[in-house]
Structure 1
Amino acid sequence: MQTQHKLASIGLALALSLSAASSFAADVMVGGAAMLPTKDIIDNAVNSKDHTTLVAAIKAAGLVDTLKGPGPFTVFAPTNAAFDALPAGTVDTLLKPENKDTLSGILTYHVVAGKMDAKALTQAIAAGKSKATLKTVAGGKLVATAKGGKVMVTDEKGGVAHVTIADVYQSNGVIHVVDKVLMHQ
């Protein structure tokens, strides 16, 4: 009886250890930093060296408090390289105080209300017969499609962003890293 009890205790300890190890391994690395699901979108984004332009833009647009809010939000987060691909001077112009409304519109175009992880996105794409139309917080539309196991998001101007890192879970939603700044209007 004691042997069975000891074996059960060892088994439970092993199971708990494996469970704890898998929860630590579940932290996604973005821009050289672990994205902790216990932190909100802003608290994680500020640690990613690949998203310094996005964070600066969020601050300039006055959206920090919004994205620290309860959400949940789904954010398609462009990398620094995505912002660098815009025409020269675009980011500097957008960061000026007089362009705060325009910048806010662009950034909220990357945000969908609710938590749509990769599973939910692929289900929506399947239900929509190969595409899902997503309404953004800015009031625009994004179209999500999938090909070869990869999700793409098309903006209203026809630009296509590829999801390069999916399912970066946050305490107030989920981030999908994308390789293009999405535009509308």
Structure 2
Amino acid sequence: MLNQNRPNALITKSQLKKLACAIGIAGVSTLIAFPVLAKFYAPMYLFQPSAHRNYPYRNSDKTIADTLSQNSKFANLYHELKQAGLLKDLKQGNYTIFAPTNEAFNALPKNVFERYSQSQNRLRVLKYHLVASEIKAKDAKELNGKLITTVEGDQIKITVDPQDTVKLNDATGKHPSIKASNGVIIEVDKVLLPRGL
């Protein structure tokens, strides 16, 4: 009886090895294909994170202000918005915000930061990061090479380069964007500066 069971155990072990091998091949194939998929989807999904609603880190049922307050990479931005009195606006209305990370604020040259620190300039720069509407996926293709008007009144140029990287002036939009209850948060790697700053 024991001898009859032993071949079955060997077959099962062999099948497990084949299954593990197949899973490994599928995993490697997915990793190889991922950059291609990211390239294909980048311009559209930067502006429409809700296309992947099952990913909670891309979506929030909270307002833009509350979502920023809970994400440590935007701590400097949240502080600056609070200092400028803009948080109440970001708890209502409908916006797209281009959100510089802490590193983006820290990278500002000293002379630019000194100009930025003046209260009227701070408000102007922060409003330059806001668009008073939610930019959707269907708009993304039409926006390439176009200018969009910000709450500050000046415009930002949106371009998609040959590698499908979305640029906002000279800043890069990063994935994933976050869909908040009243708009979209798009991470950018630089603080955007309106003309004259």
Query: TM-score, normalised to structure 1's length?
Result: 0.70
Q: Check the 8 A contact 1:161/1:179 in 2, yes or no.
A: yes
Change (3 A) 1:152 1:137: same
| Residue identity opposite 1:84 in structure 2 | N
Q: Please, which runs of 5 or more residues in structure 1 have no aligned partner?
A: 1-21, 30-34, 155-159
Alignment partner of 2:150 out of 136, 146, 167: 136
**Structure of greater relative contact order (alpha carbons < 8 Å, 6+ residues apart):** 2
What is the correspondence of 1:112-151 to structure 2 with a 5 Å cutoff? 112-117=131-136, 119-125=137-143, 130-147=144-161, 148-151=163-166
Q: Tell me which of 78, 82, 87 is aligned to 1:64.
A: 87
2:90 counterpart letter in structure 1: L
The structure that has the greater radius of gyration is: 2
Which residue identity lines up with residue 177 of structure 2 in the other structure? D
In 1, distance between residues paired with 2:133 and 2:125?
Answer: 18
Q: How does 1:91-110 map to 2 (within 5 A)?
A: 91=113, 94-95=116-117, 99-110=118-129
* Match status 1:173 vs 2:168: no
Q: Is the 8 A contact 2:127 2:150 kept in 1?
A: yes
TM-score by length of 2: 0.66
Matched, 1:28 2:38: no
Q: 2:190 aligns to what SS in structure 1?
A: coil
Q: Does 1:78 align with 2:100?
A: yes
Please name the residue that 1:40 is paired with. 63
State the Cα RMSD in Å: 2.0
Match of 2:78 in 1: 55
Runs of 4+ in 1 over 4 A off after TM superposition: 89-95
Q: Number of residues paired by the alignment? A: 143
**Residues 90-140 of structure 1, C-alpha deviations (whole Å, 9 max, x = no match):** 557745xxx2221111000001111003x2442222xxxx41210000000
Q: Who is 1:153 aligned against?
A: 168
Contact kept, 8 Å, 2:115 with 2:121, in 1: the verdict is: no
Secondary structure in 2 matching 1:64: coil
